[in-house]
């Protein structure tokens, strides 16, 4: 239990506390998505061990509705030189004309020790494991994430960052998208300034991630249900 | 019994579906490159799956980076991550056959591979090993070919299933919530939750469920079979079912049925397809079914392994898959994305109006690939300029790499590579996406007379230079002599190209942009030749009287025409020695100046601004002021900005000279090259000097000799 500093940042310890609190609350009030889990990757000696893991929400599945995409992908996938006509026909195998046109999303919330704020990393991939480019999945993102926020203070952490392209995931060392953290502490400061009572409350760190995610989650189509915010007020 | 079963439908299993995470291909690529080499023997791997958790989507068997054995260096760090029981990552043993060629991939005997894998399952069942480690029942194999040049990965999974002959028949199958009583469902859910939440059992995919008459449910390991049998309890054979379909069990049940039949000789089998929703047992999605097995004749012989099937379907038919990961793995593409990111980050806050498209589309011609040229090229790339041409006639000498940042000792060997060639090669090493060309060519210079037999080749060079300047948007003058800047200045003035000069003395430098040519047309500019003293020039440029003057070029302030400046010099003067910090400073300023011009609404016509002057215009440039000339001095660590307007007597950009060139073309050029005083006579400088009214603008004392430079 801790109250957080007024500059909109978190210590590594606060991040961990906030992450666990967030995951618990999510599990009890969000029914549309699977729960978050805390992943502790193997330690590397040269990485700071301030935070021993990150929050992950993986394999969130969406059906690909665009036929165009579907058609485009099929052609590239098959290897015409290698078909399996040499295996006997087996009655016990259910042959499905399966729709494999799903998109999967992975979301990671990782502590950035330079900016001292949480950062949302995410990626989308298709059924064949290929990571999708933003242009291929931006149709899935809420239309208002670019539209409604253009005029707001959040513009610079949202719309612009979407075009920032793939960044190296700090634990996986592979390219992921991320919402750049350089506006985060300012936003959080504003959020918490507007209600000084929150900051003084014990447990403000727990609230931090919830407030933060209520902003960035929208960008990637993960809205925090009102229920989740509400039960905070009840406590 | 046989009659009854004939009427029943065959129990059909939904095949396993695979998905390979990019991380797997990353790890495989590095394993192949760093460790395996051409060794193509099979490698044991782990796949991961979990119970279905989505009403419309089956779960996949997933390969992740940790599916592969780690390279020795990481061994210690990574072993713990897999072994911990992770409820969403039940580990399944597998084997990868990664071939060295696509031909080898196609030539693999897939039936034998499948059979070999099926035999392992068969043996594990008979030996009882499958009871201890039940995941071995879902053993799989994958064949692959990794084309690391194009980042194409060809692969095909097989999930070997021992074929029951005749096939098992289905008595009935329905949601567990219907098959069980509400109390039983509740007890079972609770038992499953416990099983799934314990690190010891969460990743054990096959289990026994016994439901007592009081509805209480117990889950046990397969090896604890003895405890379940014969106590009158309802017995369900449970497994984590990746399949979501409402009437079919998933693939893992196939070998499970075989195990049940072989080990315990049960022919009427009740099975539980365990499925989840949000981490909890979903009794509506989970299925309970009843299957009948007839005795397969061949199975009496332990040594004859039953037939096996299981090559994965792709788009509804059997076939191999191919995925291209160039976007995520090709270092060139990653470098482009990363380079763009840095620039976009600048745009985001500091410079919202930064126009990256303009920068990346601008074609820059760099005359000279020495200290200045190397550094300017680097700076241009850093700003996102992607189209660069370097012109130089020299070769990389042993002394060059220390100061000329694009070269290394390798470029000096065997007499040295041409700078224009080496620079191109090394720029591409720095950033593979740069579109860079090198031209090995000397720039013809006035005052360096040409013997008549070389005339034609010199004229060819002139035409070539002319064409190069016309085909680019920006010209950088980065050569080591004053006179080599004359011809390009003339050509640039004639076609009004943005031109930037950087020149070095021993410890001082000049960086300037040339004004537009005398015949350029701009609504914003009224060409007016110079006629007043320096003071009035500045007033004119700052007053908003719409009578803006052209800015000067490198030669505008000179009272002598360019001549051979190296002829009477000692060695230390020829190989001009400059303080090493000078060239990087000047080069950086030259490029920053260009970025300023490209972002100025008036571009080449923008008037020169002073560092200390208030900018009169209404707009405020985010990049700051746009000076005409910057002169810096290292001894003073000082830098000043200056404005100098075009001179009517300029030997390179005046109306007289440009129109003479336009009328007479190469003939004029040749005359200027061969006759040292011709330009001075033409422009009236000769007369001017005679009348002793010198034409000193700004910083006269430096103009004569200090700008000679090493390249």
Lowest mean pLDDT among A45-59, A172-186, B523-537, B641-655: B523-537
Q: Which of residues 53-92 of B touch A (CB under 8 A)?
A: 53-54, 56-57, 60, 63, 65, 77-78, 80-81, 88
Look at A182-186, B87-91, B242-246, B392-396 and tell me which has the smallest mean pLDDT. A182-186
| Banded pLDDT at A183 (limits 50, 70, 90) | confident
Task: Categorize the per-residue pLDDT at A205 as very low, low, confident or very high, splitting at 50, 70 and 90.
Answer: confident
How large is the average pLDDT for residues B328-340? 76
Q: Which residues of A touch B325 (CB under 8 A)?
A: 130-131
Kindly state whether B347 is in contact with chain A, defined as any CB-CB distance less than 8 angstroms.
yes
Q: What is the pLDDT of residues B518-549, one digit of tens each?
A: 887 654 444 333 333 333 344 333 333 334 68
Q: How confident is the model at residue B56 (pLDDT cuts 50, 70, 90)?
A: confident
| Residue numbers in B near A175 (CB within 8 A) | 328, 334, 337
Mean pLDDT calculated for residue range A140-148: 59
Q: How far is B496 from chain A (nearest CA, A)?
A: 36
Q: Which residues of B touch A81 (CB under 8 A)?
A: 106
Pairing relationship of beta strands B508-513 and B629-633 according to DSSP bridges: antiparallel
- Mean of per-residue pLDDT scores for chain B: 83
For the beta sheet containing B435-440, the strands, ordered from the edge strand earlier in sequence to the opposite edge, are B435-440, B387-392, B363-367, B474-477, B498-504, B508-513, B629-633, B638-642
**According to the model, what pLDDT value does residue B560 have?**
62
Q: What is the pLDDT of residue B594?
A: 96
Q: Which two tokens stand for residue B512?
A: 């300037």
Q: Mutate which of A61, A82, A181 to disrupt the B interface (most B C-beta within 10 Å)?
A: A82
Dihedral of alpha carbons B300, B302, B304, B306, sign: positive
Active-site residues of A, by number, are: 182
pLDDT of residue A198: 58
Instruction: Answer yes or no: do B341 and A86 touch at CB < 8 A.
Output: no
Residues of chain A above pLDDT 70, percent: 61
pLDDT in tens, B135-153: 999 999 999 999 888 889 9
Q: Is the Cβ–Cβ distance between B462 and B426 less than 8 Å? A: no
Closest CA–CA distance from residue A6 to any residue of chain B (Å) = 23
| Two tokens, residue B578 | 């400059």
pLDDT of residue B592: 96
Q: Check A166 against B154: CB less than 8 A apart.
A: no
- Cα dist. A36→B19, B237, B353, B534 in Å? 21, 30, 39, 72
Judged by DSSP in three states, B247 sits in coil
User: Quick one: tokens of A135?
Assistant: 């242009």
**Model confidence at A47, in pLDDT bands (50, 70, 90)?**
low
**Are the beta carbons of B653 and B491 closer than 8 angstroms?**
no
pLDDT value at residue A5: 65
Six-digit token string for B77: 């760090």
Of B472-486, B584-598, B697-711, the poorest mean pLDDT is in: B697-711
Beta-bridged to residue B77, according to DSSP, are: none
Interface test with A, best of B202, B312, B321 (most A CBs within 10 A): B321
Report which listed range, A98-107, A169-178, B484-493, is most confident.
B484-493
Q: What pLDDT is stored for residue B83 in this prediction?
A: 46
Distances (CA, A) of A182 to A159, A179, B95, B206, B346: 14, 9, 45, 48, 12
Question: What is this model's ipTM?
Answer: 0.76
Q: What is the DSSP letter of B84?
A: S
Question: Is some CB atom of chain A closer than 8 A to the CB atom of B19?
Answer: yes
Residue B408 Cα to chain centre, angstroms: 25
pLDDT at site B299: 67
Considering A138-142, A226-230, B70-74, B513-517, the range whose residues carry the highest mean pLDDT is: B513-517
Give B290's DSSP letter: E
CA of B377 to nearest chain A CA: how many angstroms apart? 25
The mean pLDDT of B251-263, rounded to a whole number, is 92
CA distance A40 to chain B (A): 8
Count contacts between A and B (CB, < 8 Å).
166
In chain A, what residues touch B345 (CB-CB under 8 Å)?
A: 164, 180, 182
Name the residue among A35, A128, A182 with its Cβ closest to that of B19. Answer: A128
| Contact flag A180-B105 (C-beta cutoff 8 Å) | no
Q: Is it the case that residue A82 has pLDDT exceeding 70?
A: no
Condensed to tens digits (0 to 9), the pLDDT of residues B423-481 reads 999 999 999 999 999 999 999 888 788 888 888 888 999 999 999 999 999 999 999 88
Smallest Cβ distance to A83: which of B20, B318, B344?
B318
pLDDT at B161 over 80: yes
Tell me which chain A residue has its CA closest to the CA of residue B26.
A174
In this predicted model, which residue has the larger pLDDT, B210 or A47?
A: B210
Residue of A nearest to B50 (CA): A59
Q: Assess B29–A contact: CB distance below 8 Å, yes or no.
A: no
Reported as a pLDDT band with limits 50, 70 and 90, residue B379 is very high
B154: left (phi over 0), alpha (psi -120 to 50) or beta: beta
Residues in chain A: 235
State the average pLDDT over residues B327-349. 74
């Amino acid at each position: 239990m801790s109250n957080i500093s007024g500059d909109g940042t978190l210590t590594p310890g606060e991040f961990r506390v906030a992450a666990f609190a967030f995951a618990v609350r999510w599990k009890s009030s969000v029914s549309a998505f699977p729960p978050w889990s805390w992943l502790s990757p193997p330690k590397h000696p040269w990485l700071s061990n301030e935070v021993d893991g990150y929050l992950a929400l993986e394999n969130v599945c969406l059906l690909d509705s665009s036929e165009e995409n579907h058609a485009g992908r099929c052609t590239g996938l098959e290897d015409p030189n290698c078909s399996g006509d040499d295996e006997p026909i087996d009655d016990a195998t259910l042959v499905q004309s399966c729709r494999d046109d799903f998109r999967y999303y992975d979301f990671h919330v990782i502590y950035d020790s330079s900016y001292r704020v949480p950062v949302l990393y995410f990626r989308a991939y298709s059924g064949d494991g290929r990571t999708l480019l933003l242009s291929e999945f931006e149709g899935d993102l809420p239309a208002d994430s670019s539209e409604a926020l253009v005029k707001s203070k959040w513009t610079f952490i949202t719309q612009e960052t979407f075009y920032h392209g793939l960044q190296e995931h700090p634990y996986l060392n592979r390219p992921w998208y991320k919402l750049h953290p350089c506006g985060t502490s300012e936003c959080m400061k504003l959020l918490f300034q507007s209600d000084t009572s929150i900051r003084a409350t014990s447990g403000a760190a727990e609230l931090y991630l919830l407030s933060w995610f209520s902003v960035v989650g929208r960008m990637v189509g993960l809205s925090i249900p009102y229920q989740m915010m509400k039960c905070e007020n009840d406590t | 019994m046989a009659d009854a079963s004939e009427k029943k439908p065959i129990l059909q299993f939904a095949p396993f579906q695979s998905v390979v995470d990019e991380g797997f291909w990353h790890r495989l690529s590095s394993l192949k490159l760093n460790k395996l080499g051409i060794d193509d023997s099979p490698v044991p791997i782990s796949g991961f799956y979990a119970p279905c958790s989505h009403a419309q989507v089956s779960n996949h068997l997933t390969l992740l980076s940790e599916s592969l054995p780690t390279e020795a260096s990481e061994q210690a760090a990574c072993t713990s991550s897999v072994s911990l029981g992770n409820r969403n990552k039940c580990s399944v043993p597998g084997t990868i056959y990664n071939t060295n060629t696509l031909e080898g991939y196609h030539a693999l005997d897939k039936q034998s591979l499948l059979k070999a894998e099926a035999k392992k399952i068969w043996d594990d069942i008979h030996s009882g090993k499958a009871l201890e480690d039940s995941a071995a029942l879902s053993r799989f194999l994958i064949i692959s070919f990794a084309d690391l040049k194009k980042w194409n990965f060809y692969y095909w999974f097989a999930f070997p299933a021992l074929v029951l002959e005749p096939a098992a028949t289905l008595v009935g199958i329905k949601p567990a919530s219907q098959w069980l009583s509400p109390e039983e469902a509740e007890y079972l859910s609770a038992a499953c939750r416990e099983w799934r939440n314990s690190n010891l059992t969460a990743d054990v995919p096959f289990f026994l469920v016994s439901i007592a008459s009081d509805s209480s449910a117990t889950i046990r390991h397969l090896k604890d079979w003895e405890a379940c049998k014969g106590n009158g309890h309802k017995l369900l054979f449970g497994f984590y079912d990746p399949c979501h379909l409402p009437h079919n069990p998933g693939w893992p049940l196939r070998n499970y049925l075989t195990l049940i039949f072989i080990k315990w000789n049960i022919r009427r089998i009740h099975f539980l397809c365990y499925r989840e929703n949000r981490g909890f047992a979903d009794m509506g999605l989970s299925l309970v079914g009843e299957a009948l097995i007839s005795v397969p004749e061949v199975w009496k012989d332990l040594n004859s392994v039953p037939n096996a099937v299981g090559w994965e379907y792709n788009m509804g038919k059997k076939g191999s898959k191919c995925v291209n990961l160039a976007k995520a793995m090709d270092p060139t593409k990653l470098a482009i994305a990363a380079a763009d990111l840095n620039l976009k980050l600048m745009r985001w806050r500091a410079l919202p109006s930064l126009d990256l498209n303009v920068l990346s589309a601008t074609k820059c011609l760099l005359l000279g690939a020495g200290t200045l040229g190397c550094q300017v090229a680097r700076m241009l790339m850093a700003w996102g300029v992607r189209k660069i041409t370097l012109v130089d006639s020299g070769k990389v000498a042993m002394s060059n790499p220390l100061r000329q940042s694009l070269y290394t000792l390798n470029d000096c060997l065997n007499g040295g590579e041409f700078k224009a060639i080496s620079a191109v090669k090394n720029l591409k090493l720095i950033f593979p996406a740069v579109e860079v060309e090198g031209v090995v060519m000397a720039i013809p210079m006035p005052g360096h007379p040409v013997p008549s037999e070389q005339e034609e080749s010199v004229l060819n060079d002139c035409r070539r230079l002319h064409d190069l300047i016309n085909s680019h948007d920006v010209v950088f003058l980065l050569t080591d002599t004053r006179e080599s800047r004359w011809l390009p200045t003339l050509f640039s003035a004639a076609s009004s190209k943005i031109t930037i000069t950087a020149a070095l003395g021993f410890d001082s430098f000049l960086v300037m942009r040339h004004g537009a040519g005398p015949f350029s047309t701009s609504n914003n500019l009224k060409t007016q030749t110079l006629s007043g003293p320096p003071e009035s020039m500045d007033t004119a440029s700052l007053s908003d009287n719409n009578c803006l003057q052209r800015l000067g070029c490198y030669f505008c302030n000179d009272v002598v025409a360019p001549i051979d400046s190296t002829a009477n010099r000692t060695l230390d003067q020829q190989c001009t020695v400059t303080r090493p910090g000078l060239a990087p400073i000047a080069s950086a300023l030259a490029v920053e100046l260009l970025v300023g011009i490209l972002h100025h609404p008036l571009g080449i016509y923008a008037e020169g601004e002073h560092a200390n002057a208030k900018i009169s215009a209404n707009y405020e440039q985010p990049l700051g002021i746009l000076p005409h000339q910057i002169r810096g001095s290292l001894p003073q660590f000082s830098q000043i900005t200056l404005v100098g307007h075009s001179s009517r007597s300029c030997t390179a950009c005046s109306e007289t000279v440009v129109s003479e060139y336009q009328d007479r073309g190469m003939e004029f050029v040749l005359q200027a090259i061969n006759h040292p005083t011709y330009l001075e006579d033409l422009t009236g400088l000769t007369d001017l000097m005679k009348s002793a009214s010198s034409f000193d603008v700004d910083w006269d004392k430096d103009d004569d000799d200090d700008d000679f430079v090493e390249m």
